[in-house]
Structure 1
Amino acid sequence: MKKAIISVSVILILAFSLIGTIDRTPLKSTEEYKKTFLNVAETIKELEQQVSTDDTLQIGWAKECIIPKGVPLPVAGYGFRTQYRAVRDSLYARAFAFDDGIRQTYVLSLDLMIFPTEVRKRLGEKLLNIGITEEDVLFSATHTHNGMGGFDPSLLGNIAMGIFSEEGTSKIVASAYQAILNAKASKQKGSVGFLKTQSPEWVTNRIVYNGRKENSIRGIKINRVDGKNAAIVTYNAHPTHINMNYWILSRDYPGEWINHLEASKTIDFAAFCAGMVASHGPGDPKHIEDSFERIKDMGSVLSDSILHIWDKTQTNAVVNVDIHKIPIDFRPSQIRIESNLKVRDWVFKSASDGGLQGDITLMRIGNIDWFACPSDFSGEIALDYQFDRVAHQQNKEFMVTSFNGNYAGYITCDAYYDSLNSYEIREMNWVGPEYGAYFGEIIKELLEN
């Protein structure tokens, strides 16, 4: 009897130390919320004090392969997978340098599932050698589910992204650094414009049957005086066309899209940044059975959509370009076991790279407000907060991308938190209720100012 009591006591102590209850305190009443909006207010002050340029913008770009030769790396995507068996198409770091005569800023996108925190940290240290900090760079990723993994040394990273590889991680950092260096060196005078069109047939709501979806293709058009043109494009469909049984490296549909753009007579260089992909999957309007034929078709259609509006899109040569990173205060993590029970925050911190952290990045290019989130961000939030309407009231355009160098899970509509049992809402919401509104209000506040 005594042994049974001791056993039960040990189990209860363990359960209490590992498991807690979901915190449903209204987020607006928390210190975390108040601190974050103080950060937002401080950023708005900085924006108001920004000195305007009167110089022609200079723009450069470059890419570098990130796959190390002869290193057995895992495939990241669809859960734990081990070594890739073939390379269908190469993976790259693609960089853009912008110089408005006062400030130098950069965009860096990786052909990976996320932009790894470990890569961001190491790259930030290297960039100091050339007078750049990570505060000067907007980070993103294509979110391919057939990129290489092994880039996260934490326990959670080893489980989700494959066994950590020092060689693989070092190669990504070195290639990203070289791409930025080459982009910086290749700057020429140029101009920028905002690209926007729709492609509703190639995106679906993957958590609600026939649910709402944000259909837009958005991007940045770049013309240079040397006759070279480039584009940065974004779309909201997950790159998950390639069947999970193919253990290969591939950029999925974003790679085909970029290939088509660069093969055209119009665009010399292009990059893709994953958009508002949470809750959004890729469409299949032609019901093509073969994964690879499907991504080729999707890439071709999306490319044609951009090329169709290219000549109609005006560009400006004298614009301000700047980056601001607004730190987000997170409540303790809330990874759910069931509706009202969660794993305690100390467990998540121990398994991850220190727990929830990150910022919302705002890159302002003339009248374009580009927001980059530390998460999968849902296009449904953009619909709820009517970001297009808010932006147009301020004579602005907007775009939102995901995976900005930190990762806090999925940010989706709060209405789903207690009503849906999907993977995105249950397992991948690490932050708890009301964070869709939290992120939505941050972006809306910045758009309005």
Structure 2
Amino acid sequence: MRLKKVFRFVLISLAVFIGVIVVFLAISIAPVDRTIDRRSLYEAMLARIDTLRAVGNEDTLTFFVGYAKANITPRHRTATAGYGTRRGKLFESVHDSIYVRTLVVSNGKRRVAIVSADLLIVPPAVTTLLEKELPEIGFTLNNTYLGAIHSHNSIGNWAKGATALLYGPYNDSIVHFLADKIKASIQEASENMLPSKIRAGFIPVPAVANRLIDNGPVDSLLRVLEVQRNDSSKLVLLSYTAHATCLPDEDLHLSRDYPGQLVDALEKNKYTFAMFMAGAVGSHSGKAPESGQACVNWMADEIAQNFANHSAALTPLRGGALAMHRVPLLLSDPQVKVLKNWCLRPRVFESAFGEYPEYLTALRIGDLVMLGTPCDFSGQFDATLDSVAHHQGLRAMVTSFNGGYIGYVTPGKYYDNDHYETQLMNWYGKGNGEYMTQCMEQLILALSK
């Protein structure tokens, strides 16, 4: 009799457990939709972009430029951000300090700040705080162009929700610390502005590979903005598409990876000040023959040497236009895949990771257009954007991590490839990359007026 009761209890418990699992799955996952129709989103984005004020090609050929950097190396050990396998482990020591670097550019009528942080991304929580506090120093997010170097060995503790399990529990003091340092660097740069001449150009550097598909296309262009101030100081901003992932997940030293060594090398030689922004790093990895510090050395040397050999390719900016636009990005519902044909329902994903507004940013300086994205934007889209810009007499520089994050944005034809970029990290469905590229094309056209 007792055995029957035990057996019945086990059966009922098992049935309840299975029922709970079934209900959980029913409310948590849904089939993947590979036929998302974004036409209405695109039309709404067109309407938003059409409202942007046309950029005047001002007569001035003299820009005013200031620069600054602020140390953001924490006094205490923090979690690292970059590899989920670390599960929030603290960094063990500081290999090289991390900074926020800023250029402030003015054409006499308007001014903008270009900010790059030695972080994995510019955390959305920091962006939200900056939106409130930048007016204290006379700036807003509408004239502050944000980016990051995308080092996977920088600090964490800046995200809430499920991301905190990977990059360490949220720490409000770190978010405020980062925002304060960004503001300090902008303020210092705006206080030392001098008349300057600016050159720009693209230099091929064969140091990048397509990590999504074997022998796939890459954007190997090093995109450069160089400033010569009238006090003889020289400043440079570099952007490249190779992921800063030289250092593996078992390496727990705080480091800027290869972008840091590249910037340091430039500042020891030709430049007073150098900064780096991650370009369209989606689908792209470094081509170094080894990993670890050997990779850092090889990547920094390869880029620096090619830059030095071909710096004559830089040409003066044409025109004195200076304008920045920050356009809210309309997105389809997220569908984060848990299996090839199944994804989390939008509410489950949003409750786990939080909801933040996302934007596309566009900055025109002379004939150079910088396009900021809230993602790991695939460099495979760069050729299209370069072509559109070229036909408008402009030059394009795409950067990632502009203060929001929506995962990886990759070509739709690879949506079902067995790779974490297209499976786990492709959050907004097939065709999102083509849709965003179309929106960015329209931004280029708007800035060409």
TM-score above 0.5, yes or no: yes
Distance 1:211 1:241 in 2: 20
Distance 1:174 1:388 in 2: 35
Q: What secondary structure does 1:27 align onto?
A: coil
In the alignment, which of 378, 388, 391 is matched to residue 390 of structure 1?
388
Q: What secondary structure does 2:434 align onto?
A: helix
Correspondence for 1:211: 216
The alignment's C-alpha RMSD in Å is 2.0
Quote how far apart the aligned CAs of 1:34 are. Answer: 2.5
Quick one: which amino acid aligns to residue 373 of structure 1? Answer: T
Distance 1:311 1:204 in 2: 25
Q: Does 1:423 align with 2:433?
A: no
Per-residue displacement from partner, 1:200-221 (whole Å, max 9, x unpaired)? 2x11111212221111100211
In the alignment, which of 223, 231, 234 is matched to residue 239 of structure 2?
234
Quick one: which amino acid aligns to residue 33 of structure 2? Answer: D
Q: Does 1:190 align with 2:200?
A: no
Correspondence for 2:5: none
Per-residue displacement from partner, 1:52-91 (whole Å, max 9, x unpaired)? 353731100100111221x220111111231111101000
Q: What secondary structure does 2:51 align onto?
A: helix
Shift in CA distance, 33/388, structure 1 to aligned 2, threshold 3 Å: closer
Shift in CA distance, 217/412, structure 1 to aligned 2, threshold 3 Å: same
Q: What secondary structure does 1:398 align onto?
A: strand
In the alignment, which of 36, 42, 65 is matched to residue 51 of structure 2?
42
How many aligned positions are there? 434
Shift in CA distance, 282/9, structure 1 to aligned 2, threshold 3 Å: same
Between stretches 166-175 and 333-342, larger displacement belongs to 166-175
Distance 1:320 1:117 in 2: 29
In the alignment, which of 248, 262, 265 is matched to residue 267 of structure 2?
262
Quick one: which amino acid aligns to residue 18 of structure 1? Answer: S
Quick one: which amino acid aligns to residue 308 of structure 2? Answer: L
Q: What secondary structure does 1:369 align onto?
A: strand
Correspondence for 2:33: 23
Quote how far apart the aligned CAs of 1:253 are. Answer: 0.5
Correspondence for 1:436: 433
Distance 1:148 1:336 in 2: 27
Structure 1 residue ranges (4+ consecutive) displaced by more than 6 angstroms after TM superposition: none
Q: What secondary structure does 1:47 align onto?
A: coil
Q: What secondary structure does 1:442 align onto?
A: helix
Distance 1:317 1:18 in 2: 53
Distance 1:445 1:259 in 2: 37
Correspondence for 1:371: 371
Shift in CA distance, 343/312, structure 1 to aligned 2, threshold 3 Å: closer
Q: Does 1:52 align with 2:54?
A: no
Per-residue displacement from partner, 1:262-287 (whole Å, max 9, x unpaired)? 111x3111110000101101112xx3
Per-residue displacement from partner, 1:115-137 (whole Å, max 9, x unpaired)? 11111121232211122111111
Q: Does 1:126 align with 2:139?
A: no
Per-residue displacement from partner, 1:301-346 (whole Å, max 9, x unpaired)? 2112223333552324961211101211111111012222111111
Work out whether residues 53 and 101 of structure 1, in 8 Å CA contact, stay in contact via their aligned partners in 2. no
Correspondence for 1:100: 107
Quick one: which amino acid aligns to residue 389 of structure 2? Answer: A
Q: What secondary structure does 2:310 align onto?
A: helix
Per-residue displacement from partner, 1:20-46 (whole Å, max 9, x unpaired)? 2223344333x3332222222223xx1
Quote how far apart the aligned CAs of 1:168 are. Answer: 2.5
Distance 1:110 1:351 in 2: 26
Quick one: which amino acid aligns to residue 25 of structure 2? Answer: A
Distance 1:102 1:293 in 2: 46
Shift in CA distance, 374/243, structure 1 to aligned 2, threshold 3 Å: same
Distance 1:318 1:332 in 2: 41
Quote how far apart the aligned CAs of 1:347 are. Answer: 1.2
Quote how far apart the aligned CAs of 1:446 are. Answer: 2.6
Shift in CA distance, 19/288, structure 1 to aligned 2, threshold 3 Å: closer
Quick one: which amino acid aligns to residue 360 of structure 1? Answer: L
Per-residue displacement from partner, 1:179-228 (whole Å, max 9, x unpaired)? 1110111100112121211112x111112122211111002111111111
Quote how far apart the aligned CAs of 1:104 are. Answer: 1.2
Work out whether residues 153 and 257 of structure 2, in 8 Å CA contact, stay in contact via their aligned partners in 1. yes
Q: Does 1:282 align with 2:286?
A: yes
Correspondence for 1:167: 173
Distance 2:281 2:218 in 1: 10
